[in-house]
Amino acid sequence: MSLDKNSKIFVAGHHGLVGSAIWNNLKSRGYNNLVGRSHKELDLTDQYAVKKFFDEEQPDAVVLAAAFVGGIMANSLYRADFIMQNMKMQCNVIENAYKHGVKKLLFLGSTCIYPKNAPQPMKEDALLTSPLEYTNEEYAISKIAGLKMCESYNLQYGTNYIAVMPTNLYGPNDNFHLENSHVLPAMMRKVYLAKLIHDNNWDAIRVDMDKRPINPPAKLQEIIGEGNVDGKNDKERILKALAFYGIEDNKVTLWGDGSPLREFLWSEDMADASVHVLLNVDFKDIIGIEKYSSVFYGVRADGEVNRNNSEGRGGAIPQLGEIRNCHINVGTGKELTIKSLANLVVRTVGFEGQIEWDASKPNGTPRKLIDVSKLHSLGWQHKVEIEDGVKKLFDWYQSTLA
């Protein structure tokens, strides 16, 4: 099922790291009938607001790139939010996509869906084979539910919903807030601020803090009191707040021991892969069936036959066997240790201080490399290597402080 250049495409989360890159990628390919809403304009956790949006806009395709995300610290602090907010968004968008006859939906998940001790590199069929990593269990469960929703709607209703599972992402519009950022932007900002403290460059520190103020959690409030920490605060309060996150004069303390292996994908590469899948890959391509039998149609919840998709089918077809793990891994198939990543960031920023590792803090999953052979077989491979990507990310980050 192809989308033409006039198709109306709703990109949910179009201001985010991946959503903004997907938006730009679609534009570059000549897809200009794009619809986006900020969180203030449309709260995707609000069932009635989402229905009203679909009633009014009637999109032809949907990219679900919106999510409640963060690193190990955020996952530990906001466990209920991580499962509830993501489940609400996914249920509301996927349900309304179906009810409004959306032709194609792309759901973005995460490779944290795989078991903590999954065989490496992780193939799609490693899903649900053993326990998850505890520190991000809630987020992982919400994303598993999302990909299963896509799979199940396809099998019951003959829809064309595809789920892609990206590895760790980084790039333009990344989140550098100290409270809930992912490992690479958090590491980069910490190293940069530690260097500025050592250089006594308070003008630059204040610019940085004004751009991304700290909203202190309860434990930090016990140290510095209530209220955001920004560039207008006195030096002592700023230094105490930064120290809470392991940022000191020429010294940065990072969680764990630096041994975990991680794979990183440039967000614009992820966007290119996502758009490639959206435009060129159908559910039948993934499950290896040349064409659905036209005898089978999806049966809607109200009992009516769904004939939106003449190639659709409903319910289980015994001769096809069990159909599962229809999602697609998206990554580079390459990895490096967190310690090696830190060294790369140190060189990029020009930091001459000390990196300390707090081994009393959790490492997270020991290794998280994905098998990308399915993606390669569908005609896409990454372009940006991590060494170039870290430099590109630091250049972007500094451009936001200019």
379 belongs to a structural domain: no
Distance CA 174, CA 115 (A): 26
Check which CATH number belongs to the domain holding 257 and give it: 3.90.25.10
Name the percent of the chain in helix, strand, coil, to the closest 5.
45, 15, 40
281 and 303 together in one domain: yes
338 and 202 together in one domain: yes
Residues ≥6 apart with Cβ < 8 Å to 240? 223, 224
Which residue has tokens 């000549």?
A: 30
The answer to whether residue 139 is catalytic is: yes
pLDDT at 367: 84
Containing domain of residue 289, as a range?
9-171+264-330
252 and 342 together in one domain: yes
177 belongs to a structural domain: no
pLDDT at 70: 65
Token pair belonging to 44: 């995707």
13 and 135 together in one domain: yes
61 and 149 together in one domain: yes
Distance CA 50, CA 279 (A): 24
Query: Could you read off the pLDDT tens digit of each residue along the chain, which spans 402 residues?
Result: 679 999 999 999 999 889 999 999 999 999 999 999 999 999 999 999 999 999 999 999 999 999 876 666 666 666 888 899 999 999 999 999 999 999 999 999 999 899 988 999 999 999 999 999 888 899 999 999 999 999 999 988 989 999 999 999 999 989 899 987 889 999 999 999 999 999 999 999 999 999 999 999 999 999 999 999 999 999 999 999 999 999 999 999 999 999 999 999 999 999 999 999 999 999 988 987 654 443 344 444 454 545 444 344 445 455 567 889 999 999 999 999 999 999 999 999 999 999 999 999 988 778 889 999 999 999 999 999 999 999 999 999 999 998
297 belongs to a structural domain: yes
pLDDT at 291: 41
116 and 246 together in one domain: no
286 and 226 together in one domain: no
pLDDT at 308: 46
pLDDT at 179: 84
pLDDT at 320: 62
pLDDT at 319: 56
pLDDT at 318: 52
In the chain, how many domains are there? 2
* Per-residue DSSP letter, 59: -
4 belongs to a structural domain: no
pLDDT at 71: 63
307 and 338 together in one domain: no
Q: How far is CA 237 from the centre of its chain?
A: 33
pTM comes to 0.85
Q: How far is CA 132 from the centre of its chain?
A: 18
Q: Residue 185: is the preceding peptide bond cis (ω within 30°)?
A: no
What is the biggest distance separating any 2 CA atoms in the chain, rounded to whole angstroms?
73
Three-state DSSP state, 197: helix
Beta-bridge mates of residue 163? 107
- Residues 192-213 as b/e (b if ≥16 CB within 10 A, e otherwise) read bbbbbbeeeeeebbbebbeebb
178 belongs to a structural domain: no
374 belongs to a structural domain: no
The residue annotated as part of the active site, out of 31, 98, 139, 192, is: 139
Q: What is the DSSP string of 100-121?
A: TT-SEEEEE--GGGS-TT--SS
What would you report as the CA-atom Rg of the chain, rounded to the nearest whole angstrom?
22
Q: How many CB atoms lie within 10 A of CB 236?
A: 9
358 and 326 together in one domain: no
140 and 275 together in one domain: yes
